[in-house]
A and B are shown apart, each in its own frame.
Chain A
């Protein structure tokens, strides 16, 4: 049964709250305005204008920009080189999302559980994150070079010269080298996110599981991992986006080669746009990649969100 007096009071109260909230929202919009203007100026406007270029045959230099309709998109659809780059990009992305997250969780568990030299481990594992992709590429070039590389020289020192491999020049190994060196560089970044997740898990949950007879693996599988799902959503989304736009390592370590073996979408966009004088075509590919990332990310977030456990 309704109680008219209370209800009226509540109504009045909620009306006043709603009014205040509306007022606050308009202030909030004002706060957002400066960053929105900057964002629009540097992101939305350039993106929209580059969208126009994707319908042109602009070479990137000439002042003559000709509208060619959907010809660039048709070429993307039929181009073997683009298909190969898409295949490489998806392969790298799948491998990196899995490996980066597995390694990052393992590292986070390690630094969360060690008693001694905890800070040293954290620093060492995080250190590669601080390097730029270009620097990282040069370091791995020095390690993996066939003739002068540290790795092959080590193999030679221990008498295994015969199995020395051209890590970056052999198409079978170039992709693996790129993937592993990228994991080395970025796992530390995700480790920090997982570490924060681990430290937010109350110890009593694990204790309760232990009392119920769960062993270490069962505690990890049924307590820790579900509670890390939130961090996993963030990490895998970031890792996925980072992998889809992998560029620096490829540019420095393999230049997309040998042949076309390590060409990815971002790399081909740059190559086509700059060195092959087809800015219009490159922009069209960038637009396709943008849509691809948007779709994959939305699906990924939706799927991963279902796994999350609220404390």
Chain B
């Protein structure tokens, strides 16, 4: 298609013929180029969603006659399956790759094809693209369980694996995921040196004290907060902090009420949340926040260009790797009354088995043995240490934790700290239209850069939400 868009013969024409040929060529290229454009815009989607052939072909060499038994029972038989997971966080990517390597070394007859890729797009985009080209992974890290379950792309978690885990949230009464970790609280990761130099001797106990601390940091000559706003998911860290404090902590069913039009984005609590967000971003955030990627935030923090980052424990490893001598702390950001609310409820996400893979008994057995291996005591401990994760298994896992990770675990165990979820992590009745999250985060970027009126922007959010709900009901 690209070749069609670049007719190389155009500039090989010479002399007298040139004008005539070029005009004709221009006419000739018009239609194919316009058509090529349409294809380039929706390329790969013309199979009408029936990716069955492709998906089964991707693991074709593993297919066995029905009833031939599981791979584990006949170790000589070679089985292979594909695996796909989010690679945005380097520590997690490494930890999963290590688990795969350890597993295949221990099980030489099972081959795992890691088809995960680092892309500039979000994990959901990548997964959908893989699905569109018939390469949906056999074992997949699933984050949008409801959508893929409804589409019949994934199957329920085998019942014998369910006993491994503490809590397993169900979607429509069915359990699809083996959670890699529990949802971890997010909070302020701060440079101890910057706090000391700004004269902040005590961690803020209320949101107002936090704002006062920002003034002190600013006065000391350092940019208070670094934000990786180029990656749209990073916007969610801050936006959800305010939404949880003002909305979800007291009303976990707000999303379903919004869908039923019983509440609105223009309600005082949401407007307050977004006003706080706008004020913070206008005053205390690094000037380059919109072109800073999430994976650059650790460097900016350790280089002393900014004093704080709002993120989760997965960043601890990145920060330590960027500068092992960098001293940093972690705390949950309180609201105006001093109450702390964090992300920490379980949600349906984790390893899921694809429907195509489930049809092949050998493959399903191999995947099951991988999941058991992944969550086995020693292996899982290594994984948790690397990603600073919170264990999801019933079995007690002992692993090394840093001082910052201790704070995270204390928050999880502290009953006075309210646990909640981000706007897009609720499910069932509380699931928002899948397209709304990114749109809303972008709108909130615009709110800050255009210095918009919060109430006006919240009206836009209401309209878009209703349009999307209506579109999805069609």
Contact = CB atoms under 8 A, between A and B. Distances in A.
B42 A58 contact: no
Nearest to B232: A255
A53 B45 CA distance: 10
A281 B75 CA distance: 49
Given A231-B22, A244-B37, A259 B443 contact: yes
Interface string A262-303: 000010011111111111011101110110011001100100
A301 B34 contact: no
A276 B36 contact: no
B442 A294 contact: no
A258 B290 contact: yes
Interface stretch (A9-17, A93-101, A110-118, A233-241): A233-241
A244 B33 CA distance: 11
B131 interface: yes
Given A57-B474, A63-B151, A200-B15, A47 B49 contact: no
A232 to B, nearest CB: 9
Nearest to A196: B11
Interface stretch (A24-32, A162-170, A211-219): A162-170
Main secondary structure of the interface of A (DSSP, over half): helix
A13 B288 CA distance: 78
A205 B49 CA distance: 61
B30 interface: yes
Given A147-B300, A258-B446, A71 B305 contact: no
B474 A68 contact: yes
Main secondary structure of the interface of B (DSSP, over half): helix
B147 A166 contact: no
Interface in A148-170: 148, 166-170
Contacts, number: 256
A240 to B, nearest CB: 10
Contacts of B132: 60, 274
B300 A301 contact: no
Interface residues of B, number: 83
B38 interface: yes
A195 to B, nearest CB: 8
B37 A290 contact: yes
B221 to A, nearest CB: 14
Given A61-B148, A233-B22, A241-B5, A260 B446 contact: yes
A234 to B, nearest CB: 5
Interface stretch (B93-101, B117-125, B326-334, B385-393): B117-125
Contacts of B290: 166, 168-170, 257-258
B11 A192 contact: yes
B124 A275 contact: yes
